[in-house]
């Protein structure tokens, strides 16, 4: 029996070792070297990490990453939960509604980026046309150093709020009916039922959704690479974008590895923190 | 306020949200059928004479079908490999209740793809596989394997143990129990898993950007070139976007009921 298990698991474990564990170790080794296209790698210990701490572009990247993360996550959690409550009260997901809800996040982020690039063009995009029609000033959107991060957050929120809605809807559908019956007997007003009963009971599900999105948001890449490549200037250069450029445009493999490993630590730290938060709100 | 009005107001809000979701998708598909002069017209044209000119342009001026073939090879190959590795692993994790292989694979899923990309680049260059389909299928299986394991797990969990144990008593070894008993019972799960693996592999950008070359470039990696070329021709760009988004959207439309359960799997149970 045990031998059978080992045999069945072996291919997946072998694959994980070759394609995930070994590269991870290799990446860590690279992060301790002076390693670029000029010559053989040379051990320099923690110098790459120390260089990171003094690199203003690293800290810009950190700021952009965190800003984008917070704006996106907060807006998607609020809109997603709102959408879930709406769907729940509309008695079930009909096929059409379900298809519409899935479509944004089943599309490649790259395609989503391409489409919004056209919609948000500062001079001839449809978004600015609508803005001027309703009497608002047009925006530079992705071309504005000030607005580029909120704009990217908006695009990501358009794409992923429906996903959060589906997760939260699953949570809503599994809430105990008895609590609601009790609230109804006590004559609790609708608003109070939502804020005092539904939302607290949903917190574990919302926290789970937050964890799933955090992993993707902290390594934000696709939409930025397609729309701005980190610009204007470095206004939307997340750590992942900066790491990519260091590695594959400047070929500083050692330094780029140190950067990406630091980013992974940030991701891991946030996931652990959010998991603790989820355990705290679990009932 | 009575129930009827609340339902109407909810319906209205849902309708508005639906419109907001659909407008960009409509704009993408719509622009791809606009005559080239109308795509960049300002104010934007909402009514136009639909034309296939942009698609004709896309197919005749870019190696679109080679990119498409590459995408199918990489997404299809990594789906098959992910399933081949993930099915037995999920089965064992479900049966033996030993979780660490699944957790390990999930941790890999959480790491930024960039962390693997630099070492892979070195590894594949060392063995002369840079730009090959093989290197891309292997890389993209890092996306599909965790999906395969985690989506299949709850399906295997639902198979009654008594049936598996009975098959064992009848003299089936573990492989035969999996192949002859468990897999036929989780067929719906395998269909969902296959589609999710294919879609997420199809959509994933970063690996193809670096690991492909001119010959093996996938559609998603080529989309960046389309932007460069399409700077003056949005119609062609939107035709490319529509073509790339089409397979996931069609699969989602056909399979939505099944996909939803797969997409939120694990999330609700925590």
Q: Is A114 on the interface with B (CB under 8 A)?
A: yes
pLDDT tens digits, residue range A40-90? 888 888 889 999 999 999 999 999 999 999 999 999 999 999 999 998 887
Residue B270, pLDDT score: 34
Closest CA of chain B from A52, distance in Å: 16
- Domain containing A77 equals 47-281
Q: Which domains does chain B have, with CATH numbers?
A: 63-263 (1.10.3720.10)
A106 chain-B contacts, CB cut-off 8 A: 199, 248-249, 251-252, 259
Residue A26 lies in a domain: no
Residue A39 lies in a domain: no
Residue B269, pLDDT score: 39
Scanning every residue of chain B, which has its alpha carbon at the shortest distance from the alpha carbon of A203?
Answer: B268
| CB contact (8 A) between residue B173 and residue A4 | yes
Q: Is B247 helix (H, G, I), strand (E, B) or coil?
A: helix
Residue A33 lies in a domain: no
| CB contact (8 A) between residue A13 and residue B224 | no
Mutate to test the interface with A, among B115, B198, B257 (most CBs of A within 10 A): B115
A117 chain-B contacts, CB cut-off 8 A: 227
Residue A137 lies in a domain: yes
Asked whether the beta carbons of B208 and B218 are under 8 A apart, the reply is yes
Residue A189, pLDDT score: 86
One pLDDT digit (tens) per residue for chain A, 283 residues: 567 777 888 898 899 889 988 999 999 999 998 888 777 888 888 889 999 999 999 999 999 999 999 999 999 999 999 999 998 887 766 778 888 888 999 999 999 999 999 999 888 888 888 888 888 888 889 988 999 999 999 999 999 999 999 999 988 888 888 888 888 888 888 888 889 889 999 999 999 899 889 988 998 999 999 999 888 989 999 999 999 999 988 988 899 999 999 999 999 899 889 988 888 888 7
Please state whether beta strands A42-43 and A33-34 pair in parallel, antiparallel, or not at all (unpaired).
antiparallel
Residue A59, pLDDT score: 95
Q: What is the DSSP string of chain A?
A: -HHHHHHHHHHHHHHHIIIIIHHHHHHHHHHTEE-BTTSS-EE-TTHHHHHHHT-HHHHHHHHHHHHHHHHHHHHHHHHHHHHHHHHHHT-S--HHHHHHHHHHHHS-HHHHHHHHHHHT-TTT-HHHHHHHHTTPPP--GGG-TTTHHHHHHHHHHHHHHHHHHHHHHHHHHTS-HHHHHHHHHTT--HHHIIIIIIHHHHHHHHHHHHHHHHHHHHT--HHHHHHTTT-STTTT--HHHHHHHHHHTS-BHHHHHHHHHHHHHHHHHHHHHHHHHHHHH--
Q: Is A126 on the interface with B (CB under 8 A)?
A: yes
| CB contact (8 A) between residue A100 and residue B105 | no
Residue B223, pLDDT score: 85
- Integer angstrom CA distances of residue A283 from A168, A201, B192, B229: 16, 7, 31, 55
Give how many domains chain A has, as a whole number.
Answer: 1
Residue A12 lies in a domain: no
Mutate to test the interface with A, among B12, B32, B38, B111 (most CBs of A within 10 A): B111
pLDDT tens digits, residue range B171-180? 888 888 888 8
Provide CB contacts within 8 A for B239, sequence distance 6+.
Answer: B32, B54, B55, B57, B58
| CATH number for the domain that contains residue A272 | 1.10.3720.10
Which whole number is the average pLDDT over B57-80? 93
Tokens of B101: 């292989």
Closest CA of chain B from A57, distance in Å: 18
| CB contact (8 A) between residue A111 and residue B241 | yes
Residue A30 lies in a domain: no
Asked whether the beta carbons of B117 and B207 are under 8 A apart, the reply is yes
Residue B6 DSSP one-character state: H
Q: Is B188 on the interface with A (CB under 8 A)?
A: no
Instruction: Find how far residue B34's CA is from the centre of its chain.
Output: 28
Which whole number is the average pLDDT over B52-76? 92
- Provide the ipTM: 0.89
Tokens of B263: 């997409």
Is residue B94 pLDDT above 70, yes or no? yes
Please state, rounded to an integer, the average pLDDT across all residues of chain B. Answer: 86
pLDDT tens digits, residue range B97-118? 777 777 777 777 778 888 889 8
Tokens of A24: 């991870």
pLDDT tens digits, residue range B146-160? 889 988 988 898 888
Q: Is B11 on the interface with A (CB under 8 A)?
A: yes
Asked whether the beta carbons of B270 and A204 are under 8 A apart, the reply is yes
| CB contact (8 A) between residue B117 and residue A8 | no
pLDDT tens digits, residue range B220-255? 998 877 776 545 688 889 999 999 999 999 988 888
Q: Is A124 on the interface with B (CB under 8 A)?
A: yes
Please name which of A42, A24, A22 lies closest in space to residue A32, comparing C-alpha atoms.
A42
Angle in degrees, CA B39, B42, B44, rounded to 5: 60
Residue A16 lies in a domain: no
Scanning every residue of chain A, which has its alpha carbon at the shortest distance from the alpha carbon of B231?
Answer: A118
Q: Is A208 on the interface with B (CB under 8 A)?
A: yes
Residue A28 lies in a domain: no
Beta bridge partner(s), residue B131: B212
Beta bridge partner(s), residue A47: none
């Amino acid at each position: 029996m045990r031998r059978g298990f080992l045999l069945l698991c072996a291919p997946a474990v072998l694959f994980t070792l070759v394609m995930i564990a070994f590269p991870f170790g290799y990446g860590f080794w690279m992060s301790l070297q002076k390693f670029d296209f000029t010559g053989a790698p040379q051990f320099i210990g923690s110098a790459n990490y120390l260089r990171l701490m003094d690199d203003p572009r690293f800290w810009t990247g950190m700021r952009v990453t965190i800003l984008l993360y917070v704006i996106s996550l907060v807006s998607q959690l609020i809109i997603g939960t709102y959408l879930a409550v709406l769907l729940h009260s509309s008695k079930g997901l009909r096929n059409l509604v379900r298809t519409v809800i899935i479509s944004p996040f089943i599309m490649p982020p790259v395609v989503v980026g391409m489409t919004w690039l056209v919609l948000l063009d500062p001079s001839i995009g449809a978004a600015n046309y609508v803005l001027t029609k309703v009497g608002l000033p047009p925006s530079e959107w992705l071309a504005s150093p000030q607005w580029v991060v909120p704009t990217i957050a908006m695009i990501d929120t358009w794409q992923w709020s429906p996903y959060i809605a589906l997760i939260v809807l699953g949570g809503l559908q599994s809430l105990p009916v008895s609590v609601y019956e009790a609230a109804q007997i006590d004559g609790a007003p609708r608003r109070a039922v939502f804020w005092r009963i539904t939302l607290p009971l949903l917190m574990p599900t919302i926290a789970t959704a937050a964890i799933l999105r955090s992993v993707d948001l902290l390594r934000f890449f696709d939409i930025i690479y397609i729309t701005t490549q980190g610009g204007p200037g470095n206004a939307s250069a997340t750590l992942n974008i900066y790491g990519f450029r260091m590695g594959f445009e400047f070929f500083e493999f050692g330094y780029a590895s140190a950067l990406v490993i630091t980013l992974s630590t940030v991701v891991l730290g946030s996931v652990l923190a959010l998991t603790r938060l989820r355990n705290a709100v679990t009932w | 306020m009575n129930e009827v009005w609340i339902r109407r107001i909810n319906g209205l809000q849902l309708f508005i949200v639906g419109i907001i979701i659909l407008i960009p998708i409509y704009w993408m598909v719509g622009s791809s059928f606009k005559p080239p002069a109308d795509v960049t017209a300002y104010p934007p044209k909402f009514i136009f004479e639909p034309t296939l000119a942009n698609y004709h342009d896309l197919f005749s001026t870019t190696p679109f079908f080679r990119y498409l073939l590459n995408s199918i090879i990489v997404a299809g190959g990594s789906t098959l490999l992910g399933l081949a590795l993930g099915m037995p692993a999920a089965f064992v994790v479900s049966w033996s209740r030993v979780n660490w292989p699944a957790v390990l694979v999930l941790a890999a899923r959480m790491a930024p793809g960039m962390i693997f990309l630099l070492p892979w680049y070195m590894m594949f260059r060392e063995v002369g596989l840079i730009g090959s389909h093989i290197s891309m299928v292997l890389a993209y299986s890092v996306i599909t394997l965790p999906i395969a394991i985690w989506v299949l797990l709850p399906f295997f969990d639902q198979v009654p143990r008594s049936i598996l144990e009975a098959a064992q008593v009848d003299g089936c070894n573990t492989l035969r129990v999996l192949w002859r008993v468990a897999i036929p019972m989780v067929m719906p799960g395998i269909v969902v898993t296959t589609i999710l693996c294919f879609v997420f592999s199809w959509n994933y950008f970063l690996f193809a950007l670096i690991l492909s070359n001119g010959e093996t470039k996938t559609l998603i990696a080529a989309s960046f070139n389309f932007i460069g070329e399409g700077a003056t021709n949005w119609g062609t760009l939107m035709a490319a976007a529509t073509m790339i988004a089409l397979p996931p959207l069609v699969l989602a439309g056909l399979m939505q009921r099944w996909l939803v359960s797969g997409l939120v799997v694990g999330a609700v149970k925590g």
